[in-house]
Amino acid sequence: MKDKNIGFAITGSFCTFTKILPCVEKLAESNNIIPIFSYSVRDTDTRFYKAADFSYDIEFITGKKPITTICDAEPIGPKCLLDLLIIAPCTGNTLTKLNHAITDTPVLMAAKAHLRNNKPVLIAISTNDGLSNNARNFGDLINKKNIYFVPFLQDDSDKKPYSLVADFDLLKDAAEAALEGRQLQPVMIGL
């Protein structure tokens, strides 16, 4: 995979940020990466990352300032800016809103705008309720056209029995598969 225009949309599963940075770096070696932040990523300092530091790291890797408003994300559709949109990590909140066509963040506007062009969206899930309240949303989305998932697993089945997280080591392979119009299998690892 090279010379693709890839939107890399990041939502607030802050504990996975150290896992996604190498993914962004790897993709940026041979592709044009357009970063997109949810409001929580743009504005929230956490024990994992300060918002300004994370933004700096993403800008350094991609050479671009992230899209951080709904208005700035909207042209992705009419201008047909992307070959692929990756949402990584994708929180349960974002997963639910995407499934129900709620467009109240830059990431969700990017997804809506991109899907109107009949192009793939790749989701790298990271949610504590993936096997409970959000199972329905995963089930709905995996059956929708142009929606693909990075294979995922339970990240701590003893302490967090409903929690799911993408295997970020498979993100690039899943992206290549999505661009070919197929779901990388198996989608659920070790369940």
User: What is the residue range of 41's domain?
Assistant: 5-111+128-160
Q: Quote the percentage of the chain above a pLDDT of 70.
A: 99
Asked if pLDDT for residue 134 goes beyond 90, the answer is no
Q: In this structure, is residue 46 part of a structural domain?
A: yes
SS3 50: coil
Gap between the Cα atoms of 190 and 64, Å rounded: 37
Residue range 142-164, pLDDT digits in tens: 999 999 999 999 887 888 888 88
What local confidence, expressed as pLDDT, does residue 14 receive? 85
What is the model's pLDDT at position 191? 53
Domain presence at residue 147: yes
Q: What is the pTM of this model?
A: 0.95
Q: What is the DSSP string of 26-47?
A: HHHTTSEEEEEE-HHHHH---S
- The domain tally of the chain equals 1
Q: Does 41 fall in a domain?
A: yes
List Cα–Cα distances, 52 to 41, 66, 177, in angstroms: 9, 11, 33
Q: Is residue 98 part of a domain?
A: yes
CATH number at residue 19: 3.40.50.1950
pLDDT averaged over every residue in the chain? 94
Query: Sorting pLDDT into bands at 50, 70 and 90, what band is 41?
Result: very high
CB 103 within 8 A of CB 109: yes
Residue 86 in domain: yes
CA 101 vs. chain centroid, Å, equals 16
**Confidence at 9, pLDDT banded by 50, 70, 90:** very high
Are 81 and 4 in contact, with CB atoms under 8 Å apart? no
Reported as a single tens digit per residue, the pLDDT across 59-78 is 999 999 999 999 999 999 99
Q: According to the model, what pLDDT value does residue 10 have?
A: 97
Dump pLDDT digits (tens) for 63-121.
999 999 999 999 999 999 999 999 999 999 999 999 999 999 999 999 999 999 999 99
Flag whether 144 is in a domain: yes
Specify if 94 maps to a domain: yes
Q: Which residues of 5-20 are buried (b: 16+ CB within 10 A; e: fewer)?
A: ebbbbbbbbbebbebb
* Whole-number pLDDT of residue 129: 79
Where helices occur in the chain by DSSP H, the ranges are: 17-28, 39-43, 51-62, 70-73, 92-99, 106-115, 135-142, 171-179
Region 17-26 average pLDDT: 95
In a domain, 179, yes or no: no
